[in-house]
Amino acid sequence: MTPLPTDQHAFNYSPWYFWRDAGPEAQSDQIALQQDLSERLGYRFGDQCFVSVLAAVENDDLAFGDRTYVAAGAYLSGSLQAGRDCTINAYAVVRGQIRLGDAVRIGAHTSILGFNHTFSDPDTEVFRQPVWSRGITIGDDVWIGSHVVILDGVTVGDRAVIAAGAIVTKDVPAGAVVGGNPARVMRWRVPQPVPAASDLAAFADRAREQTSALLNRSWDPDSRMFTDRPGAPLTDPARSIRAQCDAVEIADLLLGRAPDQLPVEEQIQRLRAPQDLDLFDGADSYHVLCAGYALDLLGSEFPEPIRFLSTATPQEIAAGLRKLPWDGGAWHGGHIVDGLGTALHWNLRKGEPPQDGVIETLFGWLQLNADPRTGMWGEGAPDTGLLEIVNGFYRASRGTYAQFGRPLPYPERVIDTVLEHVRDARFFAPARQNACNVLDVAHPLWLTRHTGHRTAEVTAVAEKLLHQALGHWTDGAGFGFQTPHPSTRGLAATVPGLQGTEMWLAIIWLLADLTGTSSELGYRPRGVHRPEPAARLIPAALA
């Protein structure tokens, strides 16, 4: 049969037919083209790939898995790594730092742009200003319709679908179907793993039944003290106090009373340490949180106001805040702010307000220095992405805005930042999770839930993390700080203990509340991880 003139470019526009229907000469030419690109430019091709001679392929680096195709009119530049069975259809633009998983299909006239121009200098034309790139990552089995635009910095999860014409400016959850401008989750292609109400109730019942055994496991009768877990040393005073406080929190949460191992008055006296503390010292700052809330649950309090906060001047508070390592060390900065805010709470409860201007200085500094891009404080570190600022935000906001019920400066940006961070597999892959990192996304999402911003995505994240968390409980022992996994077997952080148990119980409540199922647990945190404000700032202090 004589080919029609309109057939001369058929494979260039429908490349998936090439290796089935093209003749030997055409296939030989395609192999030669790929060999030439490999030899001259270092490109790497799997078996039965296809690159149209009508495409513009100008990449600095390119690697294709088996059966990945580029159709006519496509424009490729930058660094592109694609898995198997990917198709870049006619007139698609794929530029910048791009990583495609397996079976990614990109519709015609779609633009995936993993770079952008800066435009910070108004006196320089934009095209003359530097280009920067965060890159775009697209997971496995993703369907991208025609005329879609995906902008730099976006991660698209596995098995997602992006509807034709969508403008994607934020991460797309795995299994989501998104569309619109800007793209929003419309429904789910893949049902999300949602714990049933009966699963939560059964978990809570099992935890309550095992609480006494769990506490006995960490009780050292010789020293009459709790350890984090059997065999943990008691030589570190800060860790020893932490274990006593964790035991108090767990017993209150699950049993509604103090631990049975020690008379309540003896527990109180052990925690009522002298209050000669420096709140810009990390250990002293944490003591105010840990011991303060444990005493509160035991019906007591510190014997005296926190003298550091009683005597500090606004200038001293401002100078101390400025010196904290917000750029690259935002967790430590947030840790100190948490201690300052909690000391303020205990002192106000005793009728001991700080010097005039201290409250305004603390909250004013936080308000002025919150980054409107992220809603948080400081900058991330190159090797840990957003981890430092997200974890630092939890600590700083917990002791101030959350503890006193004050509105956050940029709550929607907080949600955006947390949703971007939680896609980082370095910290949220099942084998990589720990109680600190998960708590530090669960609480900010809970604190900002009233905005209604990206609610479907927030709920999906909460359901996924909750489903994973419930599976980490070890009967008779509780939770380890780090999640157990075959690849982490033997690490001390995965051994169940009081710290991990106390934190994961609070995490599970926060995540369950985000999904509307917390009532099934039959408990609500009342200590350091309490969800509602612990107090209100006195009106005169804000006047």
Instruction: Please list the active-site residues.
Output: 117
Nearest partner of 338 among 299, 288, 269, judged by Cα: 288
Task: Assess contact for 229 and 217: CB atoms under 8 A.
Answer: yes
Task: Assess contact for 174 and 190: CB atoms under 8 A.
Answer: yes
Beta bridge partners of 225: 220
Q: Whole-angstrom Cα distance, residue 328 to residue 382?
A: 8
Nearest partner of 326 among 395, 279, 278, 401, judged by Cα: 395
DSSP code per residue over 287-343 = HHHHHHHHHHHTT---SS--HHHHH--HHHHHHHHHHS-TBT-HHHHHHHHHHHHHH
Tokens of 504: 């994961």
Please state the φ and ψ torsions of residue 134, each to the nearest 5 degrees.
-100, -20
Tokens of 71: 């159709």
Q: Whole-angstrom Cα distance, residue 135 to residue 156?
A: 12
Residue 423 CA from chain centroid, whole number: 7
Nearest partner of 415 among 387, 375, 462, 461, judged by Cα: 375
3-state secondary structure string, 386-423? CHHHHHHHHHHHHHHHHHHCCCCCCHHHHHHHHHHHCC
End-to-end CA distance of the chain: give it in Å, rounded.
Answer: 89
Beta bridge partners of 479: none
**In terms of DSSP H, where are the helices of 422-489?**
425-428, 435-447, 455-470
Tokens of 350: 């005793």
